[in-house]
Amino acid sequence: MELKRLGESDLRVSALSLGTMTFGEQNSEADAHAQLDLAIAHGVNFIDSAEMYPVPPRAETQGLTERYIGSWLKHQQRDKLVIATKIAGPSRGFSWIRNSPRVNRQHLEAAIDGSLKRLQTDYVDLYQIHWPDRYVPMFGTTGYDISQEHETVPIAEQLAALADLAKAGKVRYIGLSNETPWGVSEFVRCAEKLGLPKIISIQNAYHLMNRSFETGLAEVCRHAQVGLLAYSSLAFGHLSGKYLIDPNVKGRISLFPGFGQRYAKPNVPAASKEYVRIAQQAGLSPTQMALAFARTRWFTSSVILGATSLHQLKENLDSAELVLSADVLEQIEAVHKVYPNPAP
């Protein structure tokens, strides 16, 4: 498994990493441990989680994902692994997390202490803001609506609190998730101006049907030396082709329809059909082609895998060495021109 430097840090993360949002909802603790063991056996060293997981978020299950990782992690060689988690922000309305979470000093301190306890570790290698404290359009909504703006914790204040978590040895590096070009630029600017820790990563959706990262964010992250941790690289299963065979097949879209807003767009079926066709004609697994595409972009530090079975996870992991031919890449670009970003 290739290891890549994450941003300007000394962290070297596996090109494929394990996402864990199914742990505690679709996957039992035993399932979770089996997935973790399989990933590590294939060279994965980077495990990503969040305090709000599993998905869909519920008060009854919140924190189970980190607990399942923790009961596994205590038996591992900690310094060989890169463990990441995230603090929830206010935009999603999760009132059961600290009576409505914010990204301020009080909530950051409580959140990291809770995560460390559940993960059974003294520190996390990467601590991420799951989505901005301020309003931004997310998860299928693309237009910026100024009427949705609200009071927010200043970015400088967020960074100062994160700096103290780093000084306390609880956090090694910091990153963002579901961020915008302005947000990345402002975090970098404030860090440089105030002498505070600089972000090293951004975890955003990136896949064949959502390449919006390639415009503003790719340029910003290149110059700021911020690495992309690409999530949802199979577009909630659409790029595997399974929904073309049976739209009602058991999967995240059918199980949790509220999370499918991004993919309920008119050109998604047509675009996914074309990408599946390209893979099949080239003798490739559609799943592995999609993952290889995301993994081999110049701005990608790691592709976060999400699976509910060991069979799925193994197919994902087996894409680690796949390099797409020039002909396949040319065909992908042709489809992208016809159906640009149908699932942003």
Nearest in space to 101 (alpha carbons), one of 88, 114, 110: 88
Residues 55, 21 contacting (CB under 8 angstroms): yes
Beta strands in the chain (DSSP E): 3-5, 12-14, 16-19, 46-48, 82-87, 124-129, 171-177, 199-205, 227-231, 300-305
Residue 222 CB burial class (10 angstroms; 0-12, 13-18, ≥19): exposed
**Structure tokens that stand for 284 in this block:** 């490739």
What are the tokens at 262? 């991004």
Question: HSE of 29 in the Cβ direction (CA atoms, 13 Å)?
Answer: 11
3-state secondary structure of 45: coil
List of long-range contacts for 162-167, beta carbons under 8 Å, 24+ apart: 162/108, 162/127, 162/196, 162/197, 163/196, 163/197, 164/105, 165/108, 165/109, 165/112, 165/127, 166/197
Catalytic residue flag (residue 127) = no
- Which listed residue (53, 68, 206, 243) is catalytic? 53
Structure tokens belonging to residue 313: 């996870």
Q: How far apart are CA 189 and CA 342, in angstroms?
A: 32
- Reduce the DSSP state of residue 290 to 3 states and report it: helix
The C-alpha atoms of residue 300 and residue 60 are separated, in whole angstroms, by 35
Amino acid at 39: A
Tokens describing residue 59: 């008060």
Residues annotated as part of the active site = 53
